[in-house]
Chain A
Amino acid sequence: MRLRKILVVAKKEFMDNVRNRWLIVLTAIFMVLTVASSILAGEGKLGRIEATVITLLSLSSMLVPIIAVVLAYGTIAAEAESGALSVVLAYPVKRIEVVLGKFLGLSSVVASSVIIGFGSAGVIISLATDWSEWKDYGIFMLLTILLGVLYISLSVCFSSLMKKRSTALGAGVLIFFWGMIIGSIWLGIYAATGGSLTELYTGSVDKFPSWFWYEIFLSPQDGNQAATMLAFGQKEIMGFTFEMPHWVNLKNIVLAQLIWTAVPLLLSIYFFRRRDI
């Protein structure tokens, strides 16, 4: 494995995808949403960063995975179908270098989108209000980038497993929805096993069984939201106060998200090496 070859592939991937029309549209949506959330949070004027982020969170944790899936679902399946990949693999480059290069390049596209979209809006808000919370905002952006990279890894994995572009997209959409609905499934199990939904709505949920909190590690989106809340020292979500067990902390959530990234990436290398192009 040679770093130079990985970087050559990564650079190409970045240059090709940074001009993706969807990416540009979604990045613009980020900027507009951030400023809009800030105005909402500030009741008409630009509000504080913390309140802005809380308002923004459910949207960002949904949009960033969508961007990642759109960018990466076709990176192997579609290129194998079109014939572009056979040219690349006829060059003196190893398959592992191609997968890692693609992962790196696509990840940097997502990171750029987050930095440009949220970052520029963050600067506007900070200029209008104050700079004291830039550090927390930075953590918020890092966590958002991590979520994007995680979904890049998942999508690359499906892309290297699936023969066709369409099935790779289907798998990407499925894994996105997994993160979105696992919370509801969990609540269903909680209710079905005798848990009280009234307790949930009245906010007295200290007595949640410990398995209930596993959900945060199973859903990348919810993990991202919880991690951001923890980073801002928030314990309130949509009006409900949560007392989380001590092991549901920022460090463990980030660790879980790193595992969510590493495992699919290793699997993509495995699938890609075995694949006929």
Chain B
Amino acid sequence: MKENNKAFLLISEKDKNFLKNCLKELGYQPQFCEKEIYFLEKLYASPPNLIILDLDCNSSFFETIKIIKSSPIFLEVPLIVLCSLEKLENINWEDINLDDFLVRPFKKIEFIKRLDLAKIRASRILDANPLTKLPGNTTIISKIQQLIARNQDFALGYVDLNHFKAYNDRYGFVRGDEVIKLLARIITNVISNIPGETFVGHIGGDDFVFIVPPEEAEKVAKQIIEYFDQIIPSFYDQEDRKKGIIISKDRKGNLQKFPLMTLAIAIVRNWGNYRLKHYGQAIKVITELKKWAKKDRSKSTYVMERRSSPE
């Protein structure tokens, strides 16, 4: 049995023993909870490797599922729902982000096999960036092409980190990874507050991509920059932070002074009478804009094309 291999269940007395036995067979330490409110508390304090919610005992936990799955801690944790056949009919999978469901009355072998599969599936995250768990190139490309094909209005943003290499060279790649995770968090949280069709992708290294409704793009870029600029000084050592520079080798091997990291954001919008025809075209425009955004790398800058406009 894996140490600390916990499974948390929000469930009533029904089937409790059955579940306890199945979970123990799979090597989990089951911990039961009857009230939703204690459940959340425990989850944050001591994240389990499996979560099971009983729809029959509590139908108001769609909000709970949203809260749980909005945190990176639980992205890879399988969330299984138990319910009766009648309740099953009314569930809309689009609205809730869970991994699998099981219908009463349970059959032991099926139950065990399902949970096992859920565990394996959860760790097999296709195409996700291993550092940030955000979708990678394949998904990004297909998403953009989907929106273009649907002729939908959207803004595509490209976020790039300035002086990241110098930071890595000075502090090592482990701390460099921390900065990437920080940036991913900031972008994800800013975008999660935007209504409408949104998306965040991680191309790799220090390059990110986001999609938002076109009228939100400028606000999003400003906010990402505002939050990043505020928080990034904490990721430097005291002396470097005070001086506002780090000393590191440039590409030629010479010692150079580098300012604190800043962001370059380029945005193209599929809007009004300016229509993108293909993913490749979008990237071409963004690449051009990026050059402008990187003109002054001592400041975080965003650049938007000005050809599109609302009709």
Are A and B subunits of one complex?
A: no
Give chain B's interface residues, CB within 8 Å of chain A. Answer: none
Give chain A's interface residues, CB within 8 Å of chain B. Answer: none
